[in-house]
């Protein structure tokens, strides 16, 4: 067991992944310390976390929220220093005292602090897949250039990481890898009659059969955009060409993904659907620690099913393969359009089926450029958001 207490910055501490991360930290006070807890606007929840974990820093979106939290911390004698804004997120992801950063902000907002953690050579535990979708080349370059340690937290990628040899970076083909089998539950509408999808409500879309997650990723799972983003994520994490990544619908979510080798072997990672397993794996790697997860009972599960994805029903999955093949800023454009589309759907301004239509319309209207610098990526992101917003206001897909 490692002797030094590890200081962890948790980006997105109040979210689903953030709360699970804190649960693993809670179980191992001898190994981990919550150094900085960062959230968007949930003052009450962050305050409770500060009281329990006594972090050195806490961060909220703006100055007035930060002042409110700071006041509450002082009133109970806590000396947590409260900061605000993106600059604070960047600083608290790169300070020398920080050993590891849990990147668990949802969406594009996580890109800059997560990139800063990589550029500071930190151990980066990556849940925020949008970072790799938007700026995969830039981010992976920073990881290599600055000697960061990148550990995937997304359950599928964590499973693939566990099923690959330790030296996979020398190239998948030379490791004998034929295929990456990326499993997908298929979400809540895997078998719904197509006609019913037109009237899906946010509550129905967020009711995932196997996982309890934030609302954005839950909607992405219902459209299978999530699996599309994960195909792009796998491409960058493992330098896997698009044709090597096969999506396999597996409704039980017990096999979290697998790797097929030239000799006919398939190595997989199995477990109950509980994000504390991949989180604990990333935190303790290369060691293993208890995560509070129920042991897998194969007798209770009894059977596992598999089928091919339906690219017609799940148009977003096809769009993701398309932008991955196109390259440059195309994935960032899709990601931005999708974030706007999902937010509009959750707010009741876009029907469920409008999400894929809007994504496709933005991709068709906006030519992709080279990925280039962070500024190029952010410009493509902003333009795609603007265009998606306009299309929604024009009620094109209502």
User: For binding to Mg ion (CB under 5 A), which residues are involved?
Assistant: 154-156
Listing DSSP states for 312-381 in one string gives TTTHHHHHHHHHHHH-TTHHHHHHHHHHHHHHHHHTTSS-TTHHHHHHHHHHHHS------SHHHHHHHH
Q: Which of 49, 53, 100, 130 binds ligand NAD (CB under 6 A)?
A: 130
Nearer to ligand NAD, 13 or 135 (CB): 13
14 contributes a contact to ligand NAD by CB under 6 A: yes
Instruction: Output the smallest distance, CB 175 to Mg ion, in A.
Output: 23
Which residues 6+ apart lie within 8 Å of 266 measured at CB?
181, 258, 259, 260
Window 62 to 91, contacts with ligand NAD (CB under 6 A): none
Q: Which one of Mg ion, ligand NAD, none is in contact with 113 (Cβ closer than 5 to 8 A by kind)?
A: none
Nearer to Mg ion, 112 or 156 (CB): 156
Q: Which one of Mg ion, ligand NAD, none is in contact with 340 (Cβ closer than 5 to 8 A by kind)?
A: none
Window 18 to 47, contacts with ligand NAD (CB under 6 A): 18, 39-40, 42
Nearer to ligand NAD, 225 or 361 (CB): 225
Q: CB 243: neighbour CB atoms within 10 A? A: 9
DSSP tag of 293: P
Q: Which one of Mg ion, ligand NAD, none is in contact with 27 (Cβ closer than 5 to 8 A by kind)?
A: none
Residue nearest to Mg ion (CB): 154
Instruction: Output the smallest distance, CB 278 to ligand NAD, in A.
Output: 8
DSSP tag of 164: S
d(C-alpha 293, C-alpha 161), whole Å: 20
Which residues 6+ apart lie within 8 Å of 118 measured at CB?
124, 139, 142, 143, 146, 148, 150
Instruction: Output the smallest distance, CB 250 to ligand NAD, in A.
Output: 16
Task: Output the six-digit token pair for 227.
Answer: 């699996």
CA distances from 246 to 9, 174, 179, 259, 260 (A): 34, 19, 7, 10, 10
37-68 burial, b for 16+ CB within 10 Å, e for fewer?
A: bbbbebbebbbebbeebebbbbbbbeeebbee
Q: Which one of ligand NAD, Mg ion, none is in contact with 39 (Cβ closer than 5 to 8 A by kind)?
A: ligand NAD
Pairing of strands 255-261, 177-184: antiparallel
271 contributes a contact to ligand NAD by CB under 6 A: no
Q: Which of 112, 154, 274, 339 binds ligand NAD (CB under 6 A)?
A: 154
283 contributes a contact to ligand NAD by CB under 6 A: no
Q: Which one of ligand NAD, Mg ion, none is in contact with 360 (Cβ closer than 5 to 8 A by kind)?
A: none
**Cα-trace Rg, the chain:** 20
275 contributes a contact to ligand NAD by CB under 6 A: yes
Task: Output the six-digit token pair for 147.
Answer: 């000697």
Residue nearest to ligand NAD (CB): 15
The CA-based angle 153-157-162, given to 5 degrees, is 95
152 contributes a contact to ligand NAD by CB under 6 A: no
Q: Which of 98, 138, 217, 344 binds ligand NAD (CB under 6 A)?
A: 217
Nearer to ligand NAD, 15 or 251 (CB): 15
Strands (E) in the chain, as ranges, are 6-11, 32-38, 57-60, 81-84, 100-103, 123-126, 149-152, 177-184, 245-249, 255-261, 266-270
- In this chain, which stretch among 125-133, 174-182, 246-254, 294-302 interacts with ligand NAD, using CB under 6 A? 125-133
- In this chain, which stretch among 98-106, 288-296, 329-337, 371-379 interacts with ligand NAD, using CB under 6 A? 98-106
- Output phi, psi for 113, to 5 deg: -65, -35
Q: Which one of Mg ion, ligand NAD, none is in contact with 256 (Cβ closer than 5 to 8 A by kind)?
A: none
Which residues 6+ apart lie within 8 Å of 88 measured at CB?
38, 57, 59
Instruction: Output the smallest distance, CB 190 to ligand NAD, in A.
Output: 18
Instruction: Output the smallest distance, CB 232 to ligand NAD, in A.
Output: 12
- In this chain, which stretch among 14-22, 133-141, 291-299, 339-347 interacts with ligand NAD, using CB under 6 A? 14-22
Q: Which residues bind ligand NAD (CB under 6 A)?
A: 12-18, 39-40, 42, 61, 104-106, 109, 127-130, 154, 211, 213-214, 216-217, 275
């Amino acid at each position: 067991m490692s002797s030094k207490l590890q200081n962890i910055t948790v980006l997105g501490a109040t979210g689903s992944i953030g709360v699970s991360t804190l649960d693993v930290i809670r179980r191992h006070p001898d190994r981990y310390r919550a150094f900085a807890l960062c959230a968007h606007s949930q003052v009450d929840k962050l305050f409770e976390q500060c009281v329990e974990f006594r972090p050195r820093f806490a961060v909220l979106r703006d100055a007035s929220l930060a002042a409110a939290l700071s006041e509450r911390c002082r009133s109970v004698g806590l000396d947590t220093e409260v900061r605000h804004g993106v600059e604070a997120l960047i600083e608290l992801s790169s300070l020398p005292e920080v050993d590891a950063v849990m990147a668990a902000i949802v969406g594009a907002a996580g890109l800059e602090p997560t990139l800063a953690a990589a550029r500071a050579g930190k151990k980066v535990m990556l849940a925020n897949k949008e970072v790799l979708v938007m700026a995969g080349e830039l981010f992976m370059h920073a990881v290599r250039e600055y000697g960061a340690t990148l550990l995937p937290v997304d359950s599928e990628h964590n499973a693939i990481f566990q099923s690959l040899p330790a030296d996979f970076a020398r190239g998948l083909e030379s490791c004998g890898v034929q295929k990456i089998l990326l499993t997908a539950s298929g979400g809540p509408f895997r078998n719904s009659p197509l006609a019913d999808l037109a009237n899906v409500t946010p509550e129905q879309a967020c009711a995932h059969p196997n996982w309890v997650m934030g609302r954005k990723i839950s909607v992405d799972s219902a459209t299978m955009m999530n699996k599309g983003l994960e195909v792009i994520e796998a491409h960058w994490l493992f330098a896997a060409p698009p044709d090597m990544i096969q999506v396999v619908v597996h409704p039980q979510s017990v096999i979290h993904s697998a790797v097929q080798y030239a000799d006919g072997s398939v190595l997989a990672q199995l477990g109950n659907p509980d994000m504390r397993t991949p989180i604990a794996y990333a935190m303790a790697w290369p060691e293993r620690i208890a995560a509070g997860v129920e042991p897998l009972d194969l007798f209770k599960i009894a059977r596992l099913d598999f089928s091919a994805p339906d690219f017609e029903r799940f148009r977003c999955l096809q769009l993701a393969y398309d932008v991955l093949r196109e390259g440059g800023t195309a994935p960032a454009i899709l990601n931005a359009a999708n974030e706007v589309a999902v937010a509009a759907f959750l707010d009741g301004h876009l029907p469920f089926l409008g999400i894929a239509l809007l994504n496709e319309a933005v991709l068709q209207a906006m030519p992709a450029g080279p990925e280039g610098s962070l500024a190029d990526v952010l410009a493509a992101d902003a333009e795609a958001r603007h265009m998606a917003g306009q299309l929604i206001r024009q009620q094109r897909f209502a």
